[in-house]
Structure 1
Amino acid sequence: MHALLLVRGDVLVAVVERDDLAGVAGTARARSAGGLAGRVVGPDEDLETTRLTMAAQHRRRLAVVDHCGVLLGLLCLKKHGRGFCSSDDVAAREAERSANRAG
Protein backbone atom coordinates (compact mmCIF):
# COMPACT_ATOMS: atom_id res chain seq x y z
CA MET A 1 0.00 0.00 0.00
CA HIS A 2 1.27 3.43 -0.89
CA ALA A 3 -1.71 5.53 0.10
CA LEU A 4 -5.28 4.74 1.03
CA LEU A 5 -7.79 7.44 0.16
CA LEU A 6 -10.76 7.44 2.51
CA VAL A 7 -13.88 9.11 1.18
CA ARG A 8 -17.35 9.73 2.50
CA GLY A 9 -19.52 10.04 -0.57
CA ASP A 10 -17.22 11.98 -2.86
CA VAL A 11 -15.46 13.98 -0.11
CA LEU A 12 -11.94 12.98 0.90
CA VAL A 13 -11.80 12.59 4.68
CA ALA A 14 -8.28 11.17 5.14
CA VAL A 15 -5.21 9.87 3.37
CA VAL A 16 -3.51 6.98 5.15
CA GLU A 17 0.10 6.30 4.25
CA ARG A 18 2.20 3.28 5.16
CA ASP A 19 4.17 5.14 7.85
CA ASP A 20 0.89 6.15 9.53
CA LEU A 21 0.25 2.52 10.43
CA ALA A 22 3.33 2.03 12.60
CA GLY A 23 2.24 1.49 16.19
CA VAL A 24 -1.48 1.79 15.44
CA ALA A 25 -3.68 -0.73 17.21
CA GLY A 26 -5.34 -3.27 14.94
CA THR A 27 -8.72 -2.14 16.22
CA ALA A 28 -8.15 1.54 15.35
CA ARG A 29 -10.25 3.17 12.67
CA ALA A 30 -8.34 3.90 9.47
CA ARG A 31 -9.40 7.55 9.51
CA SER A 32 -7.74 8.08 12.88
CA ALA A 33 -4.39 6.92 11.46
CA GLY A 34 -4.36 9.30 8.50
CA GLY A 35 -4.94 12.94 7.78
CA LEU A 36 -5.13 15.57 5.07
CA ALA A 37 -2.47 18.11 6.07
CA GLY A 38 0.31 18.09 3.48
CA ARG A 39 -1.43 15.34 1.52
CA VAL A 40 -3.78 17.31 -0.71
CA VAL A 41 -3.52 19.91 -3.45
CA GLY A 42 -6.11 22.00 -5.25
CA PRO A 43 -6.90 21.53 -8.95
CA ASP A 44 -5.67 25.02 -9.86
CA GLU A 45 -2.19 24.66 -8.35
CA ASP A 46 0.76 25.05 -10.72
CA LEU A 47 1.96 21.55 -11.64
CA GLU A 48 5.65 22.41 -11.85
CA THR A 49 5.60 24.13 -8.46
CA THR A 50 3.72 21.15 -7.05
CA ARG A 51 6.19 18.71 -8.59
CA LEU A 52 9.17 20.59 -7.18
CA THR A 53 7.57 20.72 -3.72
CA MET A 54 6.73 17.02 -3.82
CA ALA A 55 10.26 16.13 -4.88
CA ALA A 56 11.80 18.33 -2.17
CA GLN A 57 9.57 16.72 0.47
CA HIS A 58 10.15 13.20 -0.88
CA ARG A 59 6.39 12.91 -1.31
CA ARG A 60 5.25 10.72 -4.20
CA ARG A 61 1.48 11.16 -3.92
CA LEU A 62 -0.96 14.00 -3.38
CA ALA A 63 -4.73 13.78 -3.55
CA VAL A 64 -6.38 16.47 -5.67
CA VAL A 65 -9.47 17.98 -4.04
CA ASP A 66 -11.70 20.92 -4.86
CA HIS A 67 -12.63 23.73 -2.45
CA CYS A 68 -15.34 21.50 -0.91
CA GLY A 69 -12.98 18.58 -0.34
CA VAL A 70 -14.36 16.52 -3.22
CA LEU A 71 -11.75 14.04 -4.42
CA LEU A 72 -10.88 14.79 -8.04
CA GLY A 73 -7.88 12.54 -8.52
CA LEU A 74 -4.38 11.62 -7.43
CA LEU A 75 -1.02 13.02 -8.49
CA CYS A 76 1.71 10.39 -8.46
CA LEU A 77 5.31 11.48 -8.89
CA LYS A 78 7.63 9.12 -10.75
CA LYS A 79 10.47 7.64 -8.69
CA HIS A 80 13.04 9.89 -10.35
CA GLY A 81 10.93 12.95 -9.45
CA ARG A 82 11.12 14.53 -12.89
CA GLY A 83 7.52 13.95 -13.88
CA PHE A 84 4.15 12.51 -13.00
CA CYS A 85 2.91 8.98 -13.65
CA SER A 86 0.43 8.52 -16.47
CA SER A 87 -2.41 6.02 -16.76
CA ASP A 88 -0.22 4.07 -19.17
CA ASP A 89 2.61 3.95 -16.60
CA VAL A 90 0.24 2.63 -13.93
CA ALA A 91 -1.23 0.02 -16.29
CA ALA A 92 2.26 -1.16 -17.31
CA ARG A 93 3.33 -1.58 -13.67
CA GLU A 94 0.17 -3.52 -12.88
CA ALA A 95 0.70 -5.80 -15.90
CA GLU A 96 4.30 -6.40 -14.76
CA ARG A 97 3.17 -7.24 -11.21
CA SER A 98 0.49 -9.60 -12.55
CA ALA A 99 3.03 -11.35 -14.77
CA ASN A 100 5.41 -11.74 -11.82
CA ARG A 101 2.65 -13.23 -9.64
CA ALA A 102 1.68 -15.67 -12.40
CA GLY A 103 5.28 -16.65 -13.21
Structure 2
Amino acid sequence: MSVGAARAFFTDSHVHALLLVERGVLVSVVERDDLDGRPDSDRARTAGRLTGRVAGPGDDLEATRAAMAAAGRRRLAVVDATGALLGLLCLKRHGRGFCSAVDVAAREADRAGTRAG
Protein backbone atom coordinates (compact mmCIF):
# COMPACT_ATOMS: atom_id res chain seq x y z
CA MET A 1 0.00 0.00 0.00
CA SER A 2 1.22 3.48 -0.80
CA VAL A 3 1.26 6.54 1.44
CA GLY A 4 -1.34 8.06 -0.90
CA ALA A 5 -3.67 5.09 -0.36
CA ALA A 6 -3.07 5.32 3.39
CA ARG A 7 -4.04 9.01 3.33
CA ALA A 8 -7.30 8.06 1.62
CA PHE A 9 -7.88 5.43 4.35
CA PHE A 10 -7.56 8.14 7.02
CA THR A 11 -10.17 10.49 5.50
CA ASP A 12 -12.64 9.00 7.99
CA SER A 13 -11.96 10.86 11.25
CA HIS A 14 -12.98 7.77 13.25
CA VAL A 15 -10.01 5.82 11.87
CA HIS A 16 -7.04 5.91 14.22
CA ALA A 17 -4.64 3.30 12.87
CA LEU A 18 -3.88 1.35 9.72
CA LEU A 19 -2.63 -2.17 10.42
CA LEU A 20 -0.45 -3.56 7.65
CA VAL A 21 -0.23 -7.34 7.67
CA GLU A 22 1.70 -9.73 5.44
CA ARG A 23 0.90 -13.44 5.64
CA GLY A 24 -0.76 -12.96 9.02
CA VAL A 25 2.18 -11.07 10.54
CA LEU A 26 1.79 -7.43 11.53
CA VAL A 27 4.54 -5.48 9.76
CA SER A 28 3.57 -1.90 10.58
CA VAL A 29 1.03 0.23 12.41
CA VAL A 30 0.54 3.52 10.61
CA GLU A 31 -1.10 6.52 12.24
CA ARG A 32 -2.31 9.63 10.45
CA ASP A 33 0.61 11.82 11.61
CA ASP A 34 3.13 9.27 10.29
CA LEU A 35 2.22 10.33 6.76
CA ASP A 36 3.09 14.01 7.18
CA GLY A 37 5.74 15.15 4.73
CA ARG A 38 5.92 11.83 2.89
CA PRO A 39 5.34 11.54 -0.84
CA ASP A 40 2.22 9.65 -1.92
CA SER A 41 4.40 7.14 -3.77
CA ASP A 42 6.28 5.95 -0.64
CA ARG A 43 5.36 2.59 0.87
CA ALA A 44 3.04 3.12 3.84
CA ARG A 45 4.73 0.42 5.90
CA THR A 46 7.93 2.48 6.03
CA ALA A 47 5.99 5.39 7.55
CA GLY A 48 4.64 3.37 10.46
CA ARG A 49 6.21 1.33 13.20
CA LEU A 50 5.48 -1.40 15.72
CA THR A 51 7.35 0.00 18.73
CA GLY A 52 4.87 1.44 21.20
CA ARG A 53 1.92 0.36 19.06
CA VAL A 54 1.54 -3.31 19.99
CA ALA A 55 0.60 -5.35 23.04
CA GLY A 56 0.88 -9.03 23.80
CA PRO A 57 -2.01 -11.33 24.69
CA GLY A 58 -0.65 -11.80 28.21
CA ASP A 59 -0.11 -8.12 28.99
CA ASP A 60 -1.84 -6.71 32.06
CA LEU A 61 -4.96 -4.98 30.71
CA GLU A 62 -5.23 -2.36 33.43
CA ALA A 63 -1.57 -1.36 33.06
CA THR A 64 -2.02 -1.28 29.28
CA ARG A 65 -5.19 0.83 29.57
CA ALA A 66 -3.51 3.28 31.93
CA ALA A 67 -0.46 3.61 29.65
CA MET A 68 -2.68 4.14 26.59
CA ALA A 69 -4.75 6.79 28.37
CA ALA A 70 -1.65 8.60 29.65
CA ALA A 71 -0.12 8.62 26.15
CA GLY A 72 -3.37 9.61 24.42
CA ARG A 73 -3.20 6.41 22.37
CA ARG A 74 -6.58 4.96 21.37
CA ARG A 75 -5.46 1.81 19.53
CA LEU A 76 -2.94 -0.98 20.12
CA ALA A 77 -2.56 -4.02 17.92
CA VAL A 78 -2.35 -7.31 19.79
CA VAL A 79 0.28 -9.71 18.45
CA ASP A 80 1.69 -13.02 19.62
CA ALA A 81 5.38 -13.87 20.01
CA THR A 82 5.69 -14.56 16.25
CA GLY A 83 4.17 -11.19 15.33
CA ALA A 84 0.87 -12.72 14.19
CA LEU A 85 -1.97 -10.22 14.49
CA LEU A 86 -4.49 -11.42 17.06
CA GLY A 87 -6.70 -8.37 17.42
CA LEU A 88 -6.97 -4.73 18.35
CA LEU A 89 -7.43 -3.00 21.68
CA CYS A 90 -9.61 0.09 21.29
CA LEU A 91 -9.66 2.55 24.16
CA LYS A 92 -12.88 4.48 24.70
CA ARG A 93 -12.63 8.22 24.16
CA HIS A 94 -12.81 8.95 27.91
CA GLY A 95 -9.91 6.51 28.49
CA ARG A 96 -11.55 4.63 31.35
CA GLY A 97 -12.18 1.37 29.48
CA PHE A 98 -12.01 -0.55 26.25
CA CYS A 99 -14.59 -0.64 23.48
CA SER A 100 -16.67 -3.79 23.16
CA ALA A 101 -18.19 -5.38 20.08
CA VAL A 102 -21.57 -4.05 21.29
CA ASP A 103 -20.15 -0.50 21.50
CA VAL A 104 -18.74 -0.72 17.98
CA ALA A 105 -21.99 -2.11 16.54
CA ALA A 106 -24.04 0.64 18.24
CA ARG A 107 -21.73 3.35 16.88
CA GLU A 108 -21.97 1.89 13.37
CA ALA A 109 -25.76 1.77 13.62
CA ASP A 110 -25.84 5.40 14.79
CA ARG A 111 -23.64 6.49 11.88
CA ALA A 112 -25.73 4.51 9.39
CA GLY A 113 -28.88 6.18 10.75
CA THR A 114 -27.25 9.61 10.49
CA ARG A 115 -26.25 8.97 6.88
CA ALA A 116 -29.71 7.64 6.00
CA GLY A 117 -31.49 10.63 7.58
- Name the CA distance, whole Å, in 2 between partners of 1:63 and 1:72: 8
- Name the CA distance, whole Å, in 2 between partners of 1:79 and 1:39: 17
1:38 is matched with: 52
- Name the CA distance, whole Å, in 1 between partners of 2:94 and 2:79: 25
Is 1:19 the equivalent of 2:46? no
How many corresponding residue pairs?
103
Q: Which runs of 4+ in 1 moved over 2 A?
A: none
SS in 2 for 1:80: coil
Q: TM-score, normalised by structure 2?
A: 0.85
* Superposed CA RMSD: 0.8
Question: Which structure has greater strand proportion?
Answer: 1
For structure 2, the 5+ residue unaligned runs are 1-14
> Deviation per CA, 1:19-69, whole angstroms, max 9, x where unpaired?
111112111111011110100011000000000110111111000000000
Q: TM-score, normalised by structure 1?
A: 0.96
1:7 is matched with: 21
Percent identity between matched residues is 69
